[in-house]
C-alpha cells in the first residue's frame, strides 16, 4: 500500500468484504455485497485494481482465484483517520471529538463514558 493510498467507494466496499472474509473468491465477495449486486466482471475488475494498488493479492486454486487482503483493516483505518484529523481538524483530536459530539448530540454522560473507555484502551496499549 502506498503511503497515502486512497480507496474509491467501490474499492472500499470490496475491501470491507475481503477483510470480513479473510479470503475469498469473486463469487464469495459478490455474495456478501448488498443489492443491487455488481456484475461478476465488475468485482473482478475492482479486485485487479486493488492488487495493483497493493491492497490485495490472489492465489490460484484450479481455475478459481482466491483473494486475500495484503493491508490490515486497522492499518488502513489508521491512515484514513490520521488524514481526516490532519486535513479537517488541524491535527486536533479535541476539535474532532468536539465536532462529533455536537453533530451526534452526545450527552455529558456519553462523553464521560467515551473518555473512560479511551483511558482504558490507552492503558492496555502501554
Q: What is the domain partition of the chain in residue ranges?
A: 1-88, 92-126
What is the Cα–Cα distance from 126 to 115, expressed in whole angstroms?
A: 17
List Cβ<8 Å contacts ≥24 apart for 30-36: none
What is the Cα–Cα distance from 30 to 102, expressed in whole angstroms?
A: 37
pLDDT (tens digit per residue) in 20-71: 999 999 999 999 999 999 999 999 999 999 999 999 999 998 899 999 999 9
What is the value of pTM for the model shown?
A: 0.78
User: What is the architecture, at CATH level 2, of domain 1-88?
Assistant: Orthogonal Bundle (1.10)
Angle subtended by helix axes 9-21 and 40-52, to nearest 10: 90
Instruction: Read off φ and ψ for residue 55, nearest 5 degrees.
Output: -90, -25
Helix, strand or coil for residue 115?
A: helix
Find the DSSP H helices in the chain: 9-21, 26-32, 40-52, 73-89, 93-103, 108-125
Higher pLDDT among residues 28 and 126, named by residue: 28
For residue 3, what pLDDT band results from cuts at 50, 70 and 90? low
The pLDDT of 92-108, averaged and rounded, is 88
Place of cell 483493516: 73
Amino acid at each position: 500500500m502506498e503511503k497515502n493510498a486512497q480507496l474509491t467507494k467501490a474499492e472500499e466496499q470490496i475491501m470491507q468484504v475481503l477483510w470480513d472474509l479473510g479470503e475469498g473468491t469473486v463469487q464469495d465477495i459478490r455474495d456478501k455485497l448488498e443489492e443491487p449486486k455488481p456484475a461478476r466482471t465488475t468485482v473482478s475488475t475492482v479486485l485487479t485494481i486493488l492488487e495493483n494498488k497493493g491492497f490485495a493479492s490472489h492465489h490460484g486454486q484450479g481455475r478459481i482465484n482466491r483473494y486475500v487482503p495484503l493491508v490490515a483493516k486497522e492499518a488502513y483505518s489508521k491512515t484514513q483517520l490520521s488524514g481526516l484529523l490532519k486535513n479537517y481538524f488541524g491535527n486536533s483530536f479535541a476539535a474532532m471529538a468536539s465536532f462529533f459530539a455536537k453533530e451526534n448530540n452526545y450527552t455529558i454522560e456519553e462523553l464521560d463514558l467515551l473518555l473512560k473507555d479511551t483511558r482504558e484502551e490507552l492503558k492496555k496499549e502501554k
